[in-house]
Amino acid sequence: MRHLRLDVVTIFPEYLEPLRHALLGKAIEQGILSVGVHDLRGWATDVHKSVDDTPYGGGPGMVMKPEVWGPALDDVAAGTAPGQELTTSLPHVDKPRHDDLAGVDGGAAESGEDPDLPLLLVPTPAGTPFTQADAQEWAKEEHIVFACGRYEGIDQRVVADAANRYRVREVSIGDYVLIGGEVAVLVIAEAIVRLIPGVLGNRRSHEEDSFSDGLLEGPSYTKPRSWRGLDVPEVLFSGNHAKVDRWRRDQALLRTQAVRPELLDTAVLDAADRKVLGRE
C-alpha cells in the first residue's frame, strides 16, 4: 500500500488541524497518510522567538529569517524535527504513526535533481500556478514538506539553499494574495491526497473530475426528478449509456467554452466535439 508523509512547517500549527478530518482523517487512520506539523518558532534563537526581520532595501512589512528557516528545513529533511503528529479526528483511532522518512522515491525530477530527495513545496503568489496535473504527479510522492510563509514571505536564500536537500517548487494557488501559506497548504494537500489510491471509495469519481480530461465537468443531478418546478434532463433517464456519456461530454464542452475557453486550446477534441462547439 502506498503511503504519503506530509510535514508542514508553520508559525500557526493549529491552522493545519483540518488535515485530520473527513477523508484525510480516514487516510491517516488507514495508514495511507501521516502528517507532522512543526512550529517554526521552535528554531528561533532569541528570547522573543522572532522569525522575521526588516527587509534589506527598505519597504513595508517583514521578511522571514533564513537562520530560522534553514535549520528547520534541515531537521525536517533529516527526520529529526520536533513536532506534532496529527491523529485522525475519526472514532476508533489507532495510535499516531511515526513513519520512517528514509527511502524516499522519485516523482518527476527537474533536470539535474536527485529524484531521491523529498519534495519541498513553498507556497507563494509569485510561484508557478498549481494545477490538477501537479496534484496527479505529486500524489506519487512519498514525502512532501511544506514551508508556510507569512508577512512578506521567506528570505529567498532559504529556497536556494533548500535545493541541497530537497527538490524545491515554489507554487501559487491563484492570482490573489493570502495572509499566509497555511491555507494554500490545505488546498494543495487535499488535492494531492484525494488522488492516492484507496483514499476515495470510487476511483472513477476523480477520473471524471473537472480538468482530468482537460475540460470542466458538466452539471450533476440527484433525486427528486422534479424539484421546485425544475426537472432533471430527460436523457439521464434513458438507460442508454452511450447517449448519457455523449450528453455529459457535450455539457462539459459547452461549460468549458463558456467559462474557461482557453482550456479548449489544449483539450483533445474529435469531430463530434468540434460540432457541438460549432468549430467544424
Who contacts 35 (Cβ-Cβ below 8 Å, separation ≥6)? 5, 6, 7, 8, 16, 19, 20, 24, 28, 85, 86
First and final C-alpha spacing in the chain: 47
Number of other residues whose CB lies within 10 A of the CB of residue 135: 20
Clarify whether 129 is annotated catalytic.
no
Task: State the binding site for S-adenosyl-L-methionine.
Answer: 149, 173-178
Number of other residues whose CB lies within 10 A of the CB of residue 53: 15
Cell numbers placing 183: 491555507
Q: State the minimum distance, in angstroms, from the CB of residue 154 to ligand SAM.
A: 6
Closer to ligand SAM by Cβ: residue 81 or 184: 184
Q: Which of residues 66-125 bind ligand SAM (CB under 6 A)?
A: 123-125
Q: At residue 195, what are phi and psi to the nearest 5 degrees?
A: -90, -5
Q: State the minimum distance, in angstroms, from the CB of residue 57 to ligand SAM.
A: 13
* Rounded-to-integer distance, Cα 134 and Cα 139, Å: 8
Q: Residues 125, 190, 217, 249: which is the catalytic one?
A: 125
Q: State the minimum distance, in angstroms, from the CB of residue 134 to ligand SAM.
A: 13
Q: Residues 67, 74, 209, 213: which is the catalytic one?
A: 209
- Binding segment for ligand SAM among 33-41, 177-185, 204-212, 219-227 (CB under 6 A)? 177-185
In terms of Cβ atoms closer than 10 Å to its own Cβ (0-12, 13-18, 19+), residue 30 is middle
Closer to ligand SAM by Cβ: residue 130 or 253: 130
Q: How many residues bind ligand SAM (CB under 6 A)?
A: 19
DSSP string, 152-194: T-B-HHHHHHHTTTSEEEEEESSSS--S-SHHHHHHHHHHHHT
Closer to ligand SAM by Cβ: residue 152 or 161: 152
Q: Residues 194, 246, 248, 249: which is the catalytic one?
A: 194
Q: Which of residues 38-67 bind ligand SAM (CB under 6 A)?
A: none
For the window 139-158, what string marks contact with ligand SAM as x by the rule CB under 6 A?
Answer: ---------xxx-xx-----
Clarify whether 118 is annotated catalytic.
no
The verdict on 10 binding ligand SAM (CB under 6 A) reads no
Q: Using an 8 Å Cβ cutoff, are 144 and 122 in contact?
A: no
Q: Which of 126, 160, 163, 267 binds ligand SAM (CB under 6 A)?
A: 126
Binding site for ligand SAM (CB under 6 A): 123-126, 148-150, 152-153, 172-174, 176-181, 184
Q: Which residues are catalytic?
A: 125, 152, 194, 209
